[in-house]
Chains A and B, each alone.
Chain A
Amino acid sequence: MRAYWAIFSQDIIMAWRLGNTSLAVAFLFIAVTLLPFGVGPELALLKRIAPGLLWVILILTMLLSLDRLFQSDLEDGSFDQLLLLNHAFEVIILTKILAHYFAIIIPVAIFLPIAGLMLNIDASALPGLALSILLAGPALSALGAIGAALSASVQRSGLLTALIVMPLYVPILIFGASVIGEPSSGLNWSSLGVLAAISLATMMLSPFAVAASLRGAER
C-alpha cells in the first residue's frame, strides 16, 4: 500500500508543481471567454449551445494534460523502477490514472461550471454539470491514458495523443452534454448512469491496455 500511496501522492504533487493543474484551469477559462466573441453575445443562443461547448472544452483541456502523463516517467527512468516492483504493473497504472483524476479532473470539475456562468447557464444546472464531469472523469483519465501510453515513446506526442483519444471520447461527450442538455426537464439521470458505467468499465479495462503498450515502449 505504501508504494501505491507514494506513486499517487508524487503524481499529484508533480502535477501541481509543474503547473499542469493550473494550466488546465487557466486554459478552460480562456477558451470559455473566447466563445462569445466567436458566436456573438446573444444570450439565448449561448444558453442553448453552452452544455455542448463546455464539454468540448473539457475534452480539449484533458488533451493538454495527457501527453506528459507517462512520457516524463519514461524519460527520467522512473518507469524502470516501477516495472521492477513486485506489484502488478496494471495496479500501478490504475494508481496513476486515479492520480490524474484527482490532479486534473477534480479541479476542472470545480471551475468549469463557474466558467459556464459566462455562457449564461442557469445557476441551478451547475451542480449537475459538476456531477457529470466528476462521474465521467475516471473514463476521461482511463481512456486518455491509453492514448498517452501508445504515444509515449514519440517525441512531441501531443497531437498524436489527441488523434488517438478524441474518437474514444465520443460516447462520453454525447452522454455528458445530454446531462444538462434540456434545462427545462432537469437532470438527465439516465445519462449520468451511463457515464458512471463507462467510467467503471474503462477504469477496469484500460490499465491492461496501458500496461501492455508501456511495456512495449520500454523494449
Chain B
Amino acid sequence: MPPTTKSLVSDSRSNGLDARECTVYRGGHLLIEDVSFNVSGGAALWLKGKNGSGKTSLLRAMAGLIPLADGQITLDEEELRECELHYIGHQDGLKARASVYENLEFYAALFEAPHLALKSQRKQEITRILKDLSLTSKVDAYVTDLSAGQKRRLALARLLIAPRPVWLLDEPLTALDDQGRDYLYKIIDKHCAGGGIVIAASHEPLDCATQSLTLGQATPTQSDGDS
C-alpha cells in the first residue's frame, strides 16, 4: 500500500488551507479581488464560476505559477507556494512520444516518491495504478494514441504516484466518462479521509465536494455543499 497523506498533514495544528484577500491580475486586468476562503484538512472545495471568472487563475496563483498581486495563501501557517502540492491543469503534462508507463515512471522520479525508489517498486505500483484506471492494455502505447479521456486519466494518475497534502485540480472532469468520474470521486474521498485537501475548479457539479466557492460575483460566497 502506498503511504496515505495522513503523515503529511499533522492533525494537531491543522488550520487547513487559508486564503486571505487574494487579488490576481491577468493581462493587466483585475480578475480576482479580495477573495478569502478557508478549507480545513479533509475537505474538498468546489470552485464555481462563469467562464473567465478566474477559476484557473486562482488555482495557478495558489500553486505559485502566477503571482498574487495582494493577499496570502497559507497551509498550516506556511506559505502554500513553498509546500509540495499536486496541480493538474488544462494540459495533461504528458509527453506524446513516450509510453503510458514511461510517463508515469518519469513523474515517479520527478516527484522523488520515497516508496518508488526501486525499479521493482515502481513497476508494481504503476501497474496497480494503471489497473485501477483501466489503462492496463495501454501500458506500452504512446500517449498520442490515447483518447482525450484516457489522457486525462493518466494525468490524474500523477496524484497517486506521490502523496501530497494539497491537490489543485483544474476541470478534472473534462473528457472523463462515468466510470472515470466515479474513480476520481473515489480517490478524492480517500485523499480527504486521510486529512488531505482538494480544491477543484469545474463548471460541472462536483459530487464529492464538501463545500463550494463561487467566483465572479460581487462578493464571492463560500458555502457548505450539503446545505
Q: Is the CB of A3 within 8 A of B109?
A: yes
Which residues of chain A come closer than 8 Å to B106, judged between CB atoms? 6, 10
Given A14-B98, A84-B65, A86-B84, A76 and B93 touching (CB < 8 A)? yes
Q: Which one of A10, A78, A84 has the greatest number of beta carbons of chain B within 10 Å? A: A84
Q: Is the CB of B66 within 8 A of A10?
A: no
Which residues of chain B come closer than 8 Å to A7, judged between CB atoms? 110
Given A18-B97, A86-B82, 5 further pairs, Cβ under 8 A = A10-B98, A13-B102, A76-B93, A77-B93, A81-B110
Tell yes or no: B91 within 8 A of A by CB.
Answer: yes
Given A6-B106, A77-B90, A77-B92, A84 and B64 touching (CB < 8 A)? yes
Which residues of chain A come closer than 8 Å to B96, judged between CB atoms? 76
Majority DSSP secondary structure for residues of B touching A: loop
Q: Is the CB of B109 within 8 A of A78?
A: no
Majority DSSP secondary structure for residues of A touching B: helix
Q: Is the CB of A2 within 8 A of B109?
A: yes
A3 to chain B, nearest CB (A): 5
Q: Is the CB of B97 within 8 A of A17?
A: yes
The residue from B63, B82, B98, B112 contacting A2, defined by CB atoms under 8 A apart: B112
Tell yes or no: B107 within 8 A of A by CB.
Answer: yes
Tell yes or no: A88 within 8 A of B by CB.
Answer: no
A23 to chain B, nearest CB (A): 14
Which residues of chain A come closer than 8 Å to B184, judged between CB atoms? none
Tell yes or no: B85 within 8 A of A by CB.
Answer: yes
User: How distant is the Cα of A76 from the Cα of B103 in the complex, in angstroms?
Assistant: 12
Tell yes or no: A182 within 8 A of B by CB.
Answer: no
Q: Is the CB of B97 within 8 A of A14?
A: yes
User: How distant is the Cα of A72 from the Cα of B158 in the complex, in angstroms?
Assistant: 19
Tell yes or no: B67 within 8 A of A by CB.
Answer: yes
Given A10-B95, A75-B91, A86-B84, A80 and B109 touching (CB < 8 A)? no
Chosen A-B contacts, 18 in total, with CB atoms closer than 8 Å, are A2-B112, A3-B111, A10-B102, A14-B98, A17-B98, A76-B93, A77-B89, A77-B90, A77-B92, A77-B93, A78-B94, A81-B87, A82-B110, A84-B85, A84-B87, A85-B111, A86-B82, A219-B67
B157 to chain A, nearest CB (A): 13
B197 to chain A, nearest CB (A): 16
